[in-house]
Amino acid sequence: MKNFSTAALFLAFTSVVLPISTYAQTPAKAVASKTNCAFLPNAPDQHIVVRGDTLWDISGKFLQRPWCWPQVWDMNREQIHNPHWIYPGQVVYFDRVAGKLRLGRGAGSDSGDMSTVRLSPQVRSSDAPNDAISTVTLAAIQAFLTKPLIVEENELNTAPRIVAVQEGHVYLGNGDKAYVRGELNGHTEFEAFRPGKPLKDPATKKIIGYESVYLGTLKLQRLSRAQNEPHTFTVTNVKEEMGVRDRLIAVEPKPFMNSVPHAPEQQVDAQIVAVYGGVSQAGQNQIVSINRGSKDGLDIGTVLELQRLGILTADRTEGNGRGLIKLPDETYGTLLIFRVFNNISYGLVMQVTDTVQIADVARSPE
């Protein structure tokens, strides 16, 4: 798995035990009926995890609905958000009697015990060759994991701002000095942004945020020593033209995209706000934003169903075609949420049978 920061360290599951023989012996069909999580008719007896596998892909080998993993593994909320427990070389078993998935050691294990895997607390570097597999292939979303991208409507108004640049410069380059006013709140590393396209809620038509334009990074060199004196920064990286009036946002710890696909804990009814890249339609493995975020119960790994609302049309069989009927809403794909802000979230379009369009519905799986 490609790392986001070479210094980042991530914790594995804390004392997770997955014994094959200690669960209640409930028939698979009963479990599927109770949780609405059915196994595929042709699900394999086992799958050996290899490098390049993802949680989503492995889930799809066994389950009709990949977001049912928490049910078939008996996961709690903490485990859903810390899935550092499946590594290349391990074996995922389908316990058909209990209707559950189990994790065993692969060939060559020191203990040779295939019935139980005990994962003790441990620290693993993101550079380690045996890092846990990721939720999805990171290539499609890598660029979206390390920058704010979405800026709330009033966030940039109160953010520190560049008030002057190095003498003789119009725009800033690497190593140039920038003079900044505003509260730094103890931070020393910042990213420069400029408000971009406003994002409007398809339902209310109100602006709920901006897709910000990322300009580059700056590092504090000298704090202000007088009320009318700005802070001094040095530009460490330039991506776009950066200058006076551009705003700074403190660099936050990079989000780690590894969470088991799961349905939201509460009912979510969202709509597609925009397709990233300025186009009007999206297909599989493209990025879209929706008008719901953390305040609506969304988190990384949430899976929503993509639906197109049924249209109103005339019933031509009676009343001279004057009566209206509403066609049923049609589900045509799934959306995996991988980046969450207060009012907006980014999602990766997974399996679809139609194109994703602005204002389409994204809601909790049935």
**Per the structure, how many domains does the chain have?**
3
Looking at the structure, do residues 79 and 178 belong to the same domain, yes or no? Answer: no
Same domain, 279 and 319: yes
Q: Is 63 a domain residue?
A: yes
Name the nearest CA neighbour of 32 among 90, 98, 91.
Answer: 98
Check pLDDT > 70 for residue 227. yes
225 and 337 in one domain?
A: no
- Model pLDDT, residue 225: 92
Q: What CATH number has the domain bearing residue 305?
A: 2.40.10.410
Amino acid at 118: R
99 and 170 part of one domain? no
Please say whether the beta carbons of 305 and 334 come within 8 A. yes
Q: Which residues contact 70 (CB under 8 A, 6 or more apart)?
A: 79, 80, 260, 262
Amino acid letter for position 102:
R
3-state secondary structure of 144: helix
Same domain, 167 and 137: no
Structural domain boundaries, residue 214? 150-250
Q: What percent of the chain has pLDDT over 90?
A: 37
Q: pLDDT for 49-100, tens place per residue? A: 998 898 999 999 999 998 898 888 888 777 787 766 788 888 999 999 888 9
Q: Average pLDDT in the 4-10 region? A: 30
Q: Give the pLDDT of residue 237.
A: 92
- Whether 262 is covered by a domain: the verdict is no
pLDDT value of position 298: 94
Residues 62 and 101 reside in one and the same domain: yes
Q: Which are the contacts of 53, defined by CB distance < 8 A and separation ≥ 6?
A: 88, 133
Question: What integer pLDDT is reported at residue 23 of this predicted model?
Answer: 29
Which one is predicted more confidently, 177 or 318? 177
Calculate the average pLDDT of the chain. 79
The four Cα atoms 28, 32, 119, 136 give a dihedral, to 10 degrees, of 130
Distance from C-alpha of 68 to C-alpha of 41, rounded to nearest angstrom: 16
**What whole-number distance in Å separates Cα of residue 267 and Cα of residue 365?**
9
Show which of 90, 112, 142 is a domain's final residue: 142
Query: Which residues are 294's β-sheet partners?
Result: none
Q: Are residues 125 and 30 in the same domain?
A: yes
Segment of 28-42, 71-85, 107-121, 164-178 carrying the highest mean pLDDT: 164-178
Judge whether 228 lies within some domain. yes
Quote the CA–CA distance of 104 and 288 in Å, as a whole number. 37
Q: Quote the distance between the C-alpha of residue 74 and its chain's center.
A: 22
Consecutive H or E run containing 294: none
